[in-house]
Amino acid sequence: MSETTKPTPTSDNRLLIIDGHSMAFRAFYALPAENFATSTGQHTNAVHGFVSMLLTMIRQQKPTHVAVAFDLDTPTFRMQEYSEYKGGRNKTPEEFYGQIELIQQVMQAMNIPSISLDPFEADDILATLSTRGEEAGFRVLVVSGDRDAFQLITDKTLVLYPKKGISDIPPMDADAVEAKYFVRPERYSDLAALVGESADNLPGVPGVGPKTAAKWINQYGDLAGILEHAEEIKGKVGESLRAHVDNVTRNRRLNQLRHDLDLPVTLDEMELVAPNREEIENLFDALEFNTLRKRLFDLFAAQEEETAPEVAEFARVITDDEQSLAAFLAAGDGAPIAIQPGVANGEAVGLGLFRGNEAAWVELSALDQATEAVLADFLADADAPKIFHDAKAAMHLLADRGLEVAGIADDTLISAYLIQPDRRSHELVDLVQYHMKYQVPVYQAKKGELDLGLAGELAEPTLAQAQAIFDLSAFLDAKLVEKHADKLARDMELPLIPVLFAMERAGVAVNRERLDELRAHFTAQVDQSTNEAFAAIGHEVNLSSPKQLQVVLFEELDLPRTKKIKTGYTTDAESLSDLLVKTGHPFLIALMAYRDAIKLRQTVDGLLKAVHPDGRIHTTYAQTVAATGRLSSLNPNLQNIPVRSEEGRRIRDVFVVGKGYETLLTVDYSQIEMRIMAHLSGDEGLIEAYRNGEDLHRYVGSRVFNVEPAEVTSEMRSKVKAMSYGLAYGLSSFGLSKQLKIGVDEARKLMKDYFDRFGAVRTYLRSVVEQARKDGYTETIFGRRRYLPELNSSDRRLRDIAERAALNAPIQGSAADLVKVAMLKIADGLAAGGYASRMLLQVHDELVLEIAPGELDAVRELVTLEMGRAADLLVPLDVQPGVGATWHEAAH
């Protein structure tokens, strides 16, 4: 089959054009709608996903020009010819409504044209733009989930075709289309005409699939040639073709894209420029896109800087035997070496080593025993300083190959986080682009292309990444000193890496049978509450559908209306809880029970999926997620297992002591955040209560309500407890009234009485915000800073959010730091004492340990002692241990 040779691009311009509706729907189904909604009830998952995808495209593809094409609701010329065109599609979900308009508003604020043209489709606009771009010498990138776009592929135009969600969007070139469909792109519309397209409701020739259609096209040249020789095609497929010629010719007319539209936008008007900052700020405030806002501004700030070259040239050192590797490792006289694993199929197949201006690639699968011994000695040498980006992840990869890592001198992931704790992405590529202003190459393997025998393909990009880590480390070292975060990195965060690594490797044992029983139990609860809900209204309804619930609650049952949102009256948990209190309706009782059971079953399902072959769950602890310094538990999130309800506590009961160990030991701090509040505020009343070992909330209640401590009722104690904790998080009198279900006036008086008795707390809370406004940051007891420039924003909403963070960060951050210090002391104590017992979990203020036989008393004493002296506060740290065969049993 002959190909037409096309001229190569004549400029450096790159045109990125996007099928707006296609990618919006991709984003909508990739991100759960219930997780993306504003306080007004407007769903934003499609908007968030679309903008996130667009920013990734701009960063990766570096287009000079961008435009987005959208379909219109009016009938297209294709529908006018064939009324069944695109018929039978599912109804658009309610949560999607309004999101296209929001995407277009974001595009306007980003100065990116949104193009629609009646009676044409977005595909026709893309085809016209690709033709215009090619004629102007541009390289063209078409982003579409519609296979009709494949016909646009040339040597100057590629289609970025999403495979999964909005994150996996590989480029499709002519060879990729031919490999998948056996025809070149210019013949794809012929193939589609024969095979049909179910998404467009265009029936093809019965019995004819892509292979048969491709065979005919390659034999007869194109669709016209096939139809000309239709009588020669034998068998049932030939008969079928001849019987459906009208369908085929109609399909071909409809799937052929238009390249000649008179568009209202020129290529010059598509040039990518900086967004309108004020419009973005206002729009993202309304959409509540705080992290996405920062990502957008970071991207364009980096683009505005003068583009620096890619990583500098470096000397390549051969290290394919023990002598050459040993010589490279010794040549630096103890200078740090940056290490980056080259990863394929989830395994480390090589290591990139970089020091000074020399780099070495060590192919792990090719090492002989002597050379591997040299590498192993170096990696395990605590006196040989090493620099990583995400050292803990590298330690796991190397541990899987039997290699131990010690001597972590720096982790640029940690350093970057300490400098910018609110930054969303701490990926190496993003950080180097942001700080160093150069590009780091990343090997983009196609599925199945890279296997363990092709480790050499990873060498160059991995070595470049190792150099980037080396460069970034030097840059961030100075920044850490400038931000007064060097001590925190050196004394807390870096030493914590091997401690967390050991906890992750150990995991925690679970009783799989008990988990299965719990799932069955919660499933039965789901079924029971479902049936009770149906019985309460006399018919079935989708209890997970907000739209159907609105009809039942506010039309059929005519219950009091909740807060009005764009999609009707809200059915969120808080509103329905209030409604239940007001009405006590049996349907609401059953609905809330259904939601609780569903949530608990989902938790159990997540745990079941996470059980490893060793019968243990190995969570991952992230040090760089929470801006306050708290550790985060991921995959699965063990910090999110409910503990307050009896049903939730049953889930903790599936976590058990492992084989070869005697018991579990849990140890936690009592009222740690309130003790830190007493310390930071210096309030004499709170300090006295803690020093005397009194029940703080009863003590506070006696003074607020002016009664003796023995006369403080449970209700009084609950009120002051809620208020005491709430004050540390910027709780208002309105918020307190909602939380306690009391009037705003009563809440306001409660707060006034509290501050009248504990004036130093009010003084502290006021001063911490004012000081942060002056300094630009808050600081924990251990010196962890959180920078809050929004404290001086002219936007009140942003300012309010920053003020709440300023109240929260010193207290929650100090508590998080204190727990980390305790973990380090405990780890050192266990190692020094030669104990076989080990830490397994950290859950906020609680630690869970697995105790080896005969070590319980000694380890309990060690842990209690070290936690109690983790910080020198004005009040004592109360540490409460518990012992048991399960996590729940060990709780106290």
Class of domain 511-617: mainly alpha
Q: Is the pLDDT of residue 445 over 90?
A: no
- The per-residue pLDDT for range 839-862, each reduced to its tens digit, is 999 998 999 999 999 999 999 999
Confidence of residue 165 (pLDDT cuts 50, 70, 90): low
Q: Quick: pLDDT tens for 259-300.
A: 999 999 999 999 999 898 778 877 887 788 878 888 898 888
Mean pLDDT score across all residues of the chain: 88
Segment 223-250 shows an average pLDDT of: 89
What is the pLDDT at residue 317? 75
Among all chains, which residue has been given the structure tokens 């002519």?
A: 174
CATH class of 665-672+815-890: alpha beta
Closest C-alpha to 817, from 863, 785, 788, 789: 785
| Residue 549 in tokens | 């619930």
Check residue 2 and give its pLDDT. 36
pLDDT of residue 305: 46
Percentage of the residues of the chain whose pLDDT score is greater than 70: 93
Kindly state the average pLDDT of the residues 72-99: 80
Number of alpha carbons in the 13 Å side-chain half-sphere of residue 853: 2
User: Out of 3.40.190.170, 3.30.9.10, 1.10.3130.10, 1.10.150.20, which CATH number does the structure's domain 673-812 have?
Assistant: 1.10.150.20
What CA–CA distance (Å, rounded) separates 161 from 150? Answer: 9
Lowest mean pLDDT, pick from 173-177, 472-476, 554-558: 173-177
Do the Cβ atoms of 328 and 317 come closer than 8 Å?
yes
- For residues 742-749, give the mean pLDDT: 83
| Cis geometry, peptide bond prior to residue 119 (ω within 30 degrees of 0) | yes
Q: Which of 13, 171, 24, 19 is nearest to 103 (CA)?
A: 24
pLDDT of residue 309: 45
Selection from 89-98, 236-245, 297-306, 405-414 with the highest mean pLDDT = 405-414
Strand partners of residue 510: 655
Q: Is the dihedral of CA 331, 334, 340, 341 positive or negative?
A: positive
Which CATH number is 315-483 given?
3.30.420.10
Alpha helices, H only, 438-585: 456-482, 486-488, 494-506, 512-537, 546-551, 573-583
Distance in angstroms (rounded) separating the CA atoms of residues 432 and 554: 54
- Domain edges within the chain: 14-177+258-270, 315-483, 511-617, 665-672+815-890, 673-812
Mean pLDDT calculated for residue range 459-486: 93
Report field, pTM of the whole predicted structure over 0.75: no
Q: What does the pLDDT average to over 134-163?
A: 90
Q: What is the pLDDT, as a whole number, of residue 618?
A: 97
Chain-centroid distance of CA 129 in Å reads: 34
What is the number of H-type helices and E-type strands within the chain?
36, 27
The pLDDT of residue 3 is: 38
Mean pLDDT over 115-142 rounds to 94
Class of 14-177+258-270 per CATH? alpha beta
